[in-house]
Amino acid sequence: MTALAHVPTPTGQPAAPPPLPRGGRRRLLPYLLLLPGAAWLLLFFAVPLFQLAAASLYDPSGSLSTGYALTWAFGNYPDALQAYWPQFGRSFLYAGIALVLAVLMGYPLAYAIAQKAGRWKSLLLVCVVAPMFTSFLVRTLAWKTILSDNGWLVGLLRDVHLLGPDGRLLATPVAVVLGLTYNFLPFLVLPLYASLERLDYRLLEAAGDLYASPVQTFRRVTLPLSMPGLIAGTLLFFIPATGDYINAELLGTPNEYMVGNVIDSAFLVRLDYPQGAALSFLLMAAILAVVFVYLRRAGTEEVL
């Protein structure tokens, strides 16, 4: 049949190939649907990532005025890590503390919305999502006002003697951690809510009928069933929080700067592209390593 399809027509032109069978079209349809997304990722992710990798291997003695040469300078990586390892450690420390605070606040909130809110569920979800409609920068500046030395929060803490007369919150690690917790909290609450909302309440009742205490019910029933949402939420929170630099820039001082602040300075202030690119790749590698270990320990059957 294939040979017959290419027999010349009376006009001398080859015959058109036969149309694809219906099954062949169905097999091609998923790949055609993937083309726009694949092209987007290739153009705006793979190509810039390749350029960033090349920039990390530029000759560090170059500059924008003299130009950069690709000398495969792998020494940029250990040099950058040796110079800025405190900022690396601070990034993971602040993001980890903020994550713990977010889980302690976000899990009860997500559970209350999913299981106890009733007709107020939609309103509470809007309250969780509404801050995301405001600029990230504006929200952080609002926290700068709240935590200011003359603000009501610092005044209240001084009145109850949790802060000294000259105590402050702004320009401290506490302010940076609070900013990270607030700004990324919805990324944790929403996946948790989606997981807890699917929880069959009859399972909790059955645990109570079997004389399980509320703590035992939570540990043996609620928590395991909500683990997919908890794992997804912690990843969505931790990854952007580790690379953030706005909170440390506006709520802290250079003593609280994270690695994101160093990368921002390398690209936009010092114009040291090789070091900025090397730091970016080191940060990506460190986050991927942490995520890989976390997923291996937590399990990924229902997450990935």
User: Are 233 and 156 within 8 A, CB to CB?
Assistant: no
Q: Which pTM was predicted?
A: 0.83
Residue 102, pLDDT score: 96
For the cut 70, the answer to whether the pLDDT of residue 35 exceeds it is yes
Banded model confidence at residue 100, pLDDT cuts 50, 70, 90: very high
> How far apart, in whole angstroms, are the C-alpha atoms of residue 141 and residue 147?
10
For the cut 90, the answer to whether the pLDDT of residue 219 exceeds it is no
> How far apart, in whole angstroms, are the C-alpha atoms of residue 202 and residue 153?
43
HSE, side-chain direction, 13 A CA sphere, residue 123: 5
pLDDT digits (tens, 9 = 90+) for 124-153: 999 999 988 989 999 999 999 999 988 889
DSSP readout, 109-177?
HHHIIIII-GGGHHHHHHHHHGGGGS-HHHHHHHHHHHTSTTSHHHHHHHHTTSS-TT---TTSHHHHH
User: Are 84 and 289 within 8 A, CB to CB?
Assistant: no
Residue 1, pLDDT score: 45
Which residue ranges form the domains of the chain, and what is each CATH number?
84-298 (1.10.3720.10)
Q: Nearest-5° angle of CA 273, CA 276, CA 278?
A: 105
